[in-house]
Amino acid sequence: MLNHVLPAALLSALLLAPALAGAAEEAPPLPRQEWSFDGIFGTYDRASLQRGFQVYKEVCSVCHAVKHLYFRDLADLGYSEDEVKAIAAGYQVTDPQPNDQGEMYQRPGRPSDPIPAPFPNDQAARNANNGAFPPDQSMIVKARPGGPNYVYAILTGYKDPPPGFNMLSGMNYNEYFPGHQIAMPPPLSDNAVTFADGVPASVPQMAHDVVTFLAWASEPNLDDRHRTGLKVILFLIVAVGVFYAMKRKIWAPVH
């Protein structure tokens, strides 16, 4: 059995190499937050998801799209079918098919529609933002090393540049953005949003909630995945036990 330890350790080292490599960046270490979806028993906190969606809707959606989200997906946040229909109907959506006159027209949203983007295309987005492109947010938590901790750090990491730091015009100093200069001005300020459930909207609270929402947007199936995973692992543990017993039984005369 000891024969296995050394190779297992070395194989793990090889598997871990990319993870360890990622740690060797010049940015300061990310402060680790506690997330309801951390760990093998993690799930999304629905109240936080709903607050986070509110922050996205009222603050972020001015510039950022979430192209992979559909209104019907919001049912995951705990909204009923009627509530989802109401949220969708509150948006004006361009119908994908032209009308009988051949013109594109707008109509109230339906659950089957994707959540509309603030700009019709990337160039329009750049044009409205001094040439900087506000990236789509539907995958952002999975698309950045550090995931939710990174996005939270960016949102709360704005501060004055240290003396002597050469800030380019139009840029903002951010502690955790690579290079420290980010085109996005600080999006959150205290009480920018009034939460429907009455939770006080401090910057850390809003950041925490919107990151929870964005984590869900990246990985909506996490709850299902964890639940199924637990059942599978338990089943396999039993299977390992039974197969081991069988192996020992069948091999007994040989040993």
Partner 1 sequence: MADTRPGAATRIIRWIDYRLPFLQFLNHELNEYPTPRNLNYWWNYGSLAGIMLVVMIVSGIVLATQYTPSSELAFDSVERIMRDVNYGWLVRYAHMNGASMFFAIVYIHLFRGLYYGSYKAPRELLWILGVIILLLLIATAFMGYVLPWGQMSYWAATVITNLFSAIPLIGPSIVTFLWGGFAVGDPTLHRFYALHYLLPFVIVAVVLLHLVALHRHGSNNPLGIDHKGPQDTIPFHPYYTVKDMFGLSVFLLIYAFFIFFAPNFLGEPDNYIPANPMQTPNHIVPEWYLLPYYAILRSITFPILFISSKLAGVILAFSSIFILFFLPWLDTSPVRSARFRPVYKWVFWLLVIDVVALGWVGANPPEGLVVTVGQIATFYYFVHMLILFPLIGKLERPRSLPSSIGAAVLSGGARLSGAGAPMAKP
Partner 2 sequence: MADVAHQNASEAHAGETRRDFLLLTAGAIGGVGVAATIWPFVDTLNPARDTLALSTTEVDLAPIQAGQRLTVAWRGKPVFIAHRTAEEIKAAQDVDISQLRDPQKDSDRVQKPEWLVIVGVCTHLGCIPLGQKAGDDRGQYGGWFCPCHGSVYDTSGRIRQGPAPLNLWLPGQAETAGQALYKFTSETVVTIG
Give me the residues that bind partner 1 (CB under 8 A), please.
Answer: 3-4, 6-7, 10-11, 13-15, 17-21, 24, 40, 68, 73, 139, 142-145, 147, 178, 218, 220-221, 224-226, 228-230, 232-233, 236-237, 239-240, 243-244, 246-247, 250-251, 254
Q: How far is the CB of 191 from partner 1 (least distance, A)?
A: 33
254 binds partner 2 (CB under 8 A): no
CB of 236 to partner 2, least distance (A): 8
Phi-psi region of 133 (alpha: psi -120 to 50; beta: other; left: phi over 0): beta
Instruction: Give 3-state DSSP helix, strand, coil % of the chain, rounded to 5.
Output: 45, 5, 50
b vs e for 22-58, b when ≥16 Cβ sit within 10 Å of the residue's Cβ?
eeeeebeebeebebbbeeeeeebbbbbbbbbbbbbbe
Task: Please give the biggest Cα pair distance in the chain.
Answer: 85
Asked if 239 interacts with partner 2 (CB under 8 A), we say yes
Nearer to partner 1, 62 or 233 (CB): 233
Looking at residue 10, its amino acid is: L
For residues 71 to 110, the per-residue mask of contacts with partner 2, x marking binding by CB under 8 A and - elsewhere, is -x-------------------------------------x
